[in-house]
Amino acid sequence: MSRRSVLLAAVVLIVAWQVLALLVGRPILPGPVEVLVTFAREIPGDLGLHALVSLWRVLASMALAVALAVPAGLVLGQSHRLNRLFSPLVYLLLPVPKVVLVPIVLLFFGIGELPKILIIFLILFFQILVLVRDQAAGLRPELIDSVRSLGAGRRALFRFVYLPASLPAILTALRQSIGTALAVLYVAELFATKLGLGYYIFLNGSTMFDYPKMYAGVVAMSLLGLGLYFAVDGIHHRVCRWQYAAPSAGG
Amino acid sequence: MGVRPAMIAIDQVTFGYSPESPIFESFTWSVEAGEAWCVLGPSGCGKTTLLYLLAGLRRPISGDVRVDGESLRRPRPRTGLVLQDYGLMPWATVWENIALGLRVRGFYGPDGRHAPRDEALVETQSRVDTWLDRMDLRSVSGNYPAQISGGQRQRTAISRTLALRPDLLLMDEPFASLDAPTREDLQELTLQLRAESGLTLILVTHTLEEAAFLGRKILLLGRPPTRRALVVDNPRAGTAGYRRSEAYASMCRELRERLGALV
């Protein structure tokens, strides 16, 4: 996929939006120019603040999920016994749509940052756990044996084998979950908060009836998702260069 | 003058993956320092298992495996292991793969357990570069294993092991998945490297021609359980022109007959 074709697709979307806005011809669908002007005006102020709060919540959840799910996944991937014990639990919990847990998490943890971060964390945690576990379990025993024969104990195996081997799984899990994470963040931000893009969109749409601002919030949320997606993808290309290296005939 | 202990002393070893069907039963075998051995047998005879026992990656059910006078409890820093499918890390370049063992040593320091106690903290860069040149890998040093040929991969794996300066080299079917010319090149190279360093070589193979060419002594394994070491002497192995000599051809015939009698 080239940069040009992505840009072209964006132009097509904006044109379609413009055409649709003209056809609808009502304030509930302002055209792209009006929305983008509002976006540019609001982003240094209120909108920017809400966007930053949302970004912080996603990044904090990501950091927490990676920090906890990666070690857990590596342990389960290395130990058949523990995996047999825990995999039914993971199997049951993984497909539960975490968004339905929003009211429960709010009940228990109330207002503030923690419940929002926690709910996204839950989504990311299971995705990363499963991918890292399968990656670690799929490592060939010959590879482990040959690195052990070089003198590697448990810690060196972790540092030189398990960690680099699970990096692609971590990044893939993050990239795949960004969409869901933001959707759930949006829902979580509808409740018990006065900060975040979810709140901003809801407030301007349903209370203030300021549609251009509401749409500017939607654009901000979309850009947040896109930005995170591209960032994770970029990191993936950088740190897992071997996955993208062209296979050559060799000598 | 004290008698130098055997490089390898396997004493009354019993081992099996399940207790009912042992692969080795009260098996005793020894190897002197500097010898070149091949372990020859059909698949399922336990030759790879024997190598894993020597590498300290498996522990005997009973009996004792001693390397250089010490009972094995874990992989020993001065023992090198090269496997058939290379054991290279797909995410690391040729250079990084060769440096891996040295990095692991740097990670622990010379603690006598993961790395030899008498090893000064190593000059990774120059050692890796030396092996890149020696093994003709300079041009692919930045490539990943998937991007190089089978022969280059195996040369990378050998470099990684020899960069650690082992005194015992264990090789498990190291050339089995290579084409014939590459295989013969690497067999010659193995003999050269062994002659240069004086290390003890144990090479496991299922091809009797390879055993006849490389092994001054050949351990024959048949259907398990193995109770007795059956050894064939092959004093001219590794000498110039041996592969095309009549002695080599008759050694191959002898091995074929004795293997046939075993299975």
**Of A143, A145, A151, Cβ closest to residue B57:** A145
For residue B224, the model assigns a pLDDT of: 86
Q: How confident is the model at residue B3 (pLDDT cuts 50, 70, 90)?
A: low
Residues in chain A within 8 Å Cβ distance of B115:
151
For residue A232, the model assigns a pLDDT of: 95
Pick A103 or B97 by higher pLDDT: B97
Q: Percent of chain B, pLDDT > 90?
A: 65
Nearest CA in chain B to A141: B87
Mutate to test the interface with A, among B88, B100, B171 (most CBs of A within 10 A): B100
Q: How confident is the model at residue A96 (pLDDT cuts 50, 70, 90)?
A: confident
Beta carbons of A149 and B57 less than 8 Å apart = yes
Virtual CA dihedral for B99, B103, B104, B107, nearest 10 degrees? 180
Characterize B196-219 residue by residue with b for buried, 16 or more Cβ atoms within 10 angstroms of its Cβ, and e for exposed.
eeebbbbbbbbbbbbbbbbbbbbb
Virtual CA dihedral for B241, B245, B251, B254, nearest 10 degrees? 160
Beta carbons of A147 and B87 less than 8 Å apart = yes
Q: What is the pTM of this model?
A: 0.83
Lowest mean pLDDT among A143-152, A190-199, B21-30, B118-127: B118-127
For residue A251, the model assigns a pLDDT of: 41
For residue A80, the model assigns a pLDDT of: 86
Average pLDDT over residues B125-133: 92
B17 within 8 A of B23, measured Cβ to Cβ: yes
**Of B77, B105, B148, Cβ closest to residue A250:** B148
| CA distance from start to end of chain A | 30
Nearest CA in chain A to B96: A160
Query: B169: distance to nearest CA of chain A, Å?
Result: 11
- For residue A15 the two structure tokens come to 């044109």
- Helix spans in B115-207 (H): 124-134, 150-162, 180-197
Q: How confident is the model at residue A250 (pLDDT cuts 50, 70, 90)?
A: very low
Kindly indicate whether the ipTM for this predicted assembly is greater than 0.95, answering yes or no: no
Residue A247 has pLDDT above 80, yes or no: no
Average pLDDT over residues A114-119: 91
For residue A248, the model assigns a pLDDT of: 61
Name the amino acid, one letter, at B89: M
Q: Residue A65: phi, psi to the nearest 5? A: -65, -45
Rounded-to-integer distance, Cα A65 and Cα A129, Å: 9
pLDDT in tens, A125-177: 999 999 999 999 988 888 999 999 988 988 899 899 998 999 999 999 999 98
| CA distance from start to end of chain B | 44
Average pLDDT over residues B151-168: 93
Q: Is the dihedral of CA B119, B122, B126, B132 positive or negative?
A: positive
Rounded-to-integer distance, Cα A5 and Cα A113, Å: 39
pLDDT in tens, B43-95: 889 999 999 999 999 999 999 999 998 899 888 888 999 988 878 999 999 99
Beta carbons of A148 and B101 less than 8 Å apart = no
For residue B241, the model assigns a pLDDT of: 84
Residue B117 has pLDDT above 80, yes or no: no
C-alpha dist (Å) from residue A192 to A27, A49, A115, A199, B93: 29, 17, 10, 9, 51
Rounded to the nearest integer, the mean pLDDT of chain A is 90
